């Protein structure tokens, strides 16, 4: 019997060394949780055997228990690197249409070729759907969706009106070159540029050239300027006439035009759709002694926004930002917890699945239902302590050697008995 008792000790020590080796091998695995072997003694007894004469029969592996303590947190520059500070797991699916849900503490996510937010194994991060204000519209793991980043936002809108208020200097001289030529700086006084958009949202440069035509003349004294407007290399005309005439009174107030100048239809270069633009200099345009200055400028065109970035708030709301200034909430990161996490089934790749021992997942979000806080730009590393594991490995090795020695001693005793009989 002592052979089998020592053999059980050898097997137990070997199991412990295997567990520790597995822990050490995954010391750099993100989201990995270490395990601890637990043993129980074996007693063979019967009802007629005195308790004072019972002899143990060895040891057995009672459990290989997982320990879900917090791993160390490290900072990263990726906003989609997520970590749970406290209890909880991320929910992931193998693909967008899969019914099975796995759980992980490894929050290292990125964007695949189809703009899905996935982990290193291609599994899709699950979020709760939200409305335009970021309010969750459905809860529970059955209602989660795969997080996907949109490429664009908004609808293109061609520019129809440009509004600006400027000050042209009353001290400016009439250009020496009488005929306006945008390539000749001596034929105009000042210029300014505005970005406008065609029908498909492509940006274009609209340039206004301000040229003083006359100084103060007449009674009451008035001054005149002309404004030549170009879209790229194409000059805009109104009623077939190029240039808009501006008239200022002696106080520097703009007296004409009193309404916006509507230019003739034109087709921008690279576009097949004609559009019409108006220029409104408003009532705030002046002719004062101060230098030329654009006080205000606006236009009503809009480009289609291109995805520029994504952020994840502490509450789990994922927000995309676009080049046209739009922001769009995409979902709220789903988290889950279990009444007995140690009962989860390990699947490898830092994945777990629920079992009857772990209980059903308790779904929620960051800061809810006992779930931990969500941290963006952070990765949770393994919770393995190398020093602790190495000490445990030495102890397991000593246990193995001791049981091997006991087995050798039992073998020598048996050999001695065999020699007596012979």
Distance CA 346, CA 352 (A): 5
In angstroms, the CA 341 to CA 316 distance is 22
According to DSSP, the residues that pair with 208 across neighbouring strands are: 192, 229
- Residue 178 backbone phi and psi in degrees, to 5: -70, -40
- Other Cβ atoms less than 10 A from the Cβ of 282: the count is 13
42 CA to centre of own chain: 53
The pLDDT, as a whole number, for residue 421 is: 61
| Alpha carbons 245 and 227: distance in angstroms, whole number | 6
Give helix 386-421 / helix 2-25 axis angle, nearest 10°: 160
Contact 361, 141 (CB under 8 A): yes
The angle subtended at Cα 147 by Cα 331 and Cα 32, nearest 5°, is 105
Residue-level pLDDT at 383: 95
Residues near 254 by beta carbon (within 8 Å), at least 6 away in sequence: 246, 247, 248, 281, 283, 285, 286, 287
Give the per-residue pLDDT at 67.
Answer: 93
Burial of 86 (0-12, 13-18, 19+ CB in 10 A): middle
Name the DSSP class of 154: S
Q: On the CB side of 19, how many CA atoms lie within 13 Å of its CA? A: 21
SS3 for 388?
A: helix
Q: Cα–Cα distance between 412 and 100 in angstroms, integer?
A: 57
Rounded to a whole number, what is the distance in angstroms from the first to the last CA of the chain? 22
Domain 161-299 belongs in CATH node 2.60.98.20: yes
Give, as one character, the DSSP assignment of residue 289: S
For the chain (422 residues), the mean pLDDT of every run of 10, in chain order, is 77 91 94 93 75 79 91 94 96 89 96 94 96 92 94 92 96 92 95 95 95 82 93 95 94 94 94 94 94 96 92 95 91 96 93 95 93 95 94 91 81 76 58
C-alpha to C-alpha distance for 198 and 302, rounded to whole angstroms:
9
Q: Which residues, listed in sequence order, are joined to residue 231 by a DSSP beta bridge?
A: 206, 234
CA distance 353 to 104: 9
Burial call 198-208: b when 16+ CB within 10 Å, e when fewer: bbebbebebeb
Closest by CA position to 315, among listed 333, 296, 293, 342: 333
Cβ-based neighbour number of residue 234 at 10 Å: 13
Residue 407 corresponds to which tokens in the numbers above?
A: 């087995």
């Amino acid at each position: 019997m002592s052979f089998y008792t020592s053999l059980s000790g050898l097997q137990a020590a070997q199991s412990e060394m295997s567990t520790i080796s597995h822990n050490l091998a995954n010391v750099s695995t993100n989201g990995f949780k270490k395990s601890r072997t637990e043993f129980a003694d074996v007693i063979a007894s019967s009802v007629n055997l005195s308790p004072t004469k019972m002899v143990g029969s060895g040891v057995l592996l009672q459990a290989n228990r997982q320990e879900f303590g917090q791993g160390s947190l490290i900072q990263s520059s990726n906003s989609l690197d997520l970590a749970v500070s406290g209890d909880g797991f991320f929910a992931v699916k193998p693909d967008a249409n899969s019914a099975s849900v796995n759980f992980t503490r490894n929050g290292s996510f990125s964007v695949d070729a189809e703009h899905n937010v996935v982990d290193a194994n291609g599994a899709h991060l699950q979020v709760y759907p939200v409305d335009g204000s970021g309010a969750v519209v459905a809860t529970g793991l059955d209602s989660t969706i795969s997080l996907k980043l949109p490429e664009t936002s908004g609808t293109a809108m061609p520019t129809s009106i440009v509004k600006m208020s400027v000050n042209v200097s009353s001290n400016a001289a009439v250009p020496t070159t009488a005929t306006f030529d945008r390539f000749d700086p001596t034929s105009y006084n000042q210029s300014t540029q505005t970005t406008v958009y065609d029908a498909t949202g492509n940006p274009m440069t609209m340039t206004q050239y301000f040229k003083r035509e006359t100084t103060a003349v007449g009674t009451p004294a008035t001054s005149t300027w002309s404004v030549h407007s170009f879209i790229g290399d194409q000059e805009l005309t109104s009623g077939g006439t190029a240039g808009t005439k501006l008239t200022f009174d002696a106080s520097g107030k703009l007296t004409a035009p009193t309404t916006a100048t509507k230019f003739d239809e034109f087709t921008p270069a690279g576009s097949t759709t004609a559009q019409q633009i108006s220029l409104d200099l408003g009532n705030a345009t002046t002719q004062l002694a101060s230098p030329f200055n654009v006080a205000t400028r606006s236009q009503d065109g809009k480009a289609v926004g291109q995805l520029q970035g994504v952020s994840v708030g502490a509450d789990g709301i994922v927000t995309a930002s676009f080049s046209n200034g739009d922001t769009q909430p995409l979902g709220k990161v789903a988290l889950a917890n279990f009444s007995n996490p140690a009962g989860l089934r390990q699947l490898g790749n830092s994945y777990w699945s629920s079992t009857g021992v772990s209980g059903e997942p308790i779904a929620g979000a960051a800061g809810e239902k006992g779930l931990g806080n969500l941290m963006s730009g952070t990765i949770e590393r393994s919770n393995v302590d190398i020093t602790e594991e190495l000490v445990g490995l030495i102890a397991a090795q000593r246990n193995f050697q001791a049981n091997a020695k006991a087995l050798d001693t039992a073998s020598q005793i048996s050999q001695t008995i065999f020699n007596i009989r012979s």
